[in-house]
Every structure is written in C-alpha cells, then in structure tokens.
Amino acid sequence: MSLLGKNRFLILSIILLSGCNTLKEYVHRESTLVEEEFYLQGRLAVTIEGEGSSAKILWRHFPDRDSIRVLTPVGTTLATILVSRSAGAVLETKDESFQASNAEDLTEKVLGWRFPLDGMQHWVKGKLQPGEPIRRISPKDSLGRLTYFEQNGWKVTYDAYKEDTLLPRKMSLEFEKMKLKFVIDKWKQI
C-alpha cells in the first residue's frame, strides 16, 4: 500500500472512530435564523432529594420572549414567568415580583427548582440547543428522533413521542440532585 493509501486509511479510520460520539463532547450547530413560535400545555413533576411537587405549565414561546404560567394541579396560578432575550426574566406571584438575568436562576431562587428555559425551548421540539456543547448522546430511534443526550449539565431522556411525529410527549430531565418529568398534553405552532 502506498504512503498516500496508508494516509487515506488512517484519516478514514480517525473519522469513523470519531463518529462514535457517546462519550465525546461536541458543539451542536444548527441554524437559529428561523425560530418557531409555539404554545404548549403540559404537566411538570419536580423531585429534589426525595421531596416532590407538581404543576401545570402554560407556555407561549416567541423568538424574542417567553410567557409561562405555572399553575397548581387544579388550575390556580402560582406564578407567571416573563422572559425577554434582551431584558432578563421576571417571575410574578399574586403578591410579589422577582427578577434575574435568566429563567433558570430565577425559578431556582423563587420556586426552589430550575427550569432550563434556554434549552427547553429546543428540547420540547425534540431538538438539541444550537451552539451548546453536547457531552453525551445516544443513537436516535428508528424514526430518527432523539432518545437521550446531556447538554448544559442536564441529562435529557425522551420517554415517549406523540404518535408518528417528531414532537416529544414525555421527557425526563436530571440536573445534579433534581429530577423533572415533563408531559406535553397540548402543542400548537403559532
């Protein structure tokens, strides 16, 4: 085999071996020029060190802002989270208003659990968050849908998809000692 042939073989071997990305960290790149607006209704169960709570979520997402209502399981509004990409996040309860630079820090400070809005706006669509490193990723299912990945410190598992679609129905998320179960009951593209 010539030197050129050996180099091609070596390069091809490196490419094939690097394709096994379950342990390799890489940055996911995807066009963010066209961001979809959506509305969803879902249920969220939060467990931190054995203590749990649950809520309903009503979420309107726009490219430059988000509005999320957090309700009790029977429908009473606990909080409204308003996030502007340029102005930060505000969480309003019946009696108080709180501010932070992002929704994740704000929800942890006020509600006691983190809601990873920057990632979730992509993850609820069955996509990775563009421009952010992926620590681990499992092979896609037979329909080409994500099954598991780790991004921004979160372990994300897709437990179920809406029948024959690319949209998730049930997701499990873990961050340190916190576990979130998110069920999407209604999805509407605006």
pTM of the model: 0.80
Of 164 and 102, the structure prediction assigns the larger pLDDT to 102
The angle formed by the CA atoms of residues 114, 137 and 103, to the nearest 5 degrees, is 20
Among positive and negative, which fits the CA dihedral 30, 146, 24, 10? negative
24-38, 68-82, 120-134, 167-181: which range is least confident on average? 24-38
Tens of pLDDT along 111-127? 888 999 999 999 999 99
Tens of pLDDT along 80-92? 999 998 999 999 9
25-189 CATH: 2.50.20.10
d(CA 182, CA 42): 7
Backbone angles phi, psi at 174, to 5 degrees: -130, 140
Q: What is the pLDDT of residue 2?
A: 46
Does pLDDT of 17 surpass 50? no
Does pLDDT of 131 surpass 50? yes
